[in-house]
Amino acid sequence: MNKLTLVKIGGNLINHADQLDTFLTDFALLPEPKILVHGGGNKASALSHQLGIKPQLVDGRRITFSADLDIVTMVYAGLINKQIVALLQAKGCNAMGLSGADANLITSVKRREQAINYGFVGDVKEVNTESIQHLLQRDISPVFCAITHDGAGQLLNTNADTVAAEIAVAMSHYYELSLIYCFEKKGVLKEVDNPDSLIEQINKKDFQQLKSDKIIADGMLPKMDNCFYALEKGVKKVIIGGAQVVGNQSSQHTEISLK
């Protein structure tokens, strides 16, 4: 089975031009087929504040009403996505920037109102693997933002970690797939401000304890949930690390496992 690497990068990494450049250089040099998924919540939040709209997040997930959806669509599918694609083209990587609406690649359903009304937030329903395969087979690297659609004309904001996991699971039927969550730290830390407190291995039992102890909290919670979901559904390898891990997987990082 051929290998495929899927990397998700977060907003803090995107905001640091030097780190982003290093990461994209390493990503462009990966010899196997590759997919990039990006967030951009920090830039979306900054624009929201400039427009007088206060961002609302619950456990790392953004509540998205009509005005919020306009902002995240502009930032994720527009500014950030096209900047990343242009930088990859400059590095010799033929990339294509995509939302879930493009070529009907990712359809979602609007999250039902429960205790929290998340607004125009989507939960992934289906990933169009045939079209993604079509791109990969032509040496085009898809670059996905976290905007999906419901098939009836409505765009939906979808957690980027979830988008990465769902694409990884769908494509794992065709490839031996490695899923890498890249952000500004070198992995999951016991102490958020202490880079020497790296946790090198986390299994499901460890996660429950770390969550109970509040060591893993907020935006890291959906990331970890998606890591375990991907492994349970057939993804071969899942790691969380810094920008350098894509070019050197022997560098320090956190490996996620089921047992």
Which residue positions form the known binding site for substrate? Answer: 40-41, 62, 157
Question: Which secondary-structure segment (H or E) carries 69?
Answer: helix 66-72
Strand 57-58 to 61-62 pairing: antiparallel
Question: Which secondary-structure segment (H or E) carries 257?
Answer: none
CA 41 from centroid of its chain's CA atoms: 11
For residue 238, list its beta bridge partners: 179, 256
Q: Which two tokens mark 111?
A: 């999250």
Q: Which residues of 159-179 are buried (b: 16+ CB within 10 A; e: fewer)?
A: bbbbbbbbbbbbbbeebebbb
For residue 124, list its beta bridge partners: 108
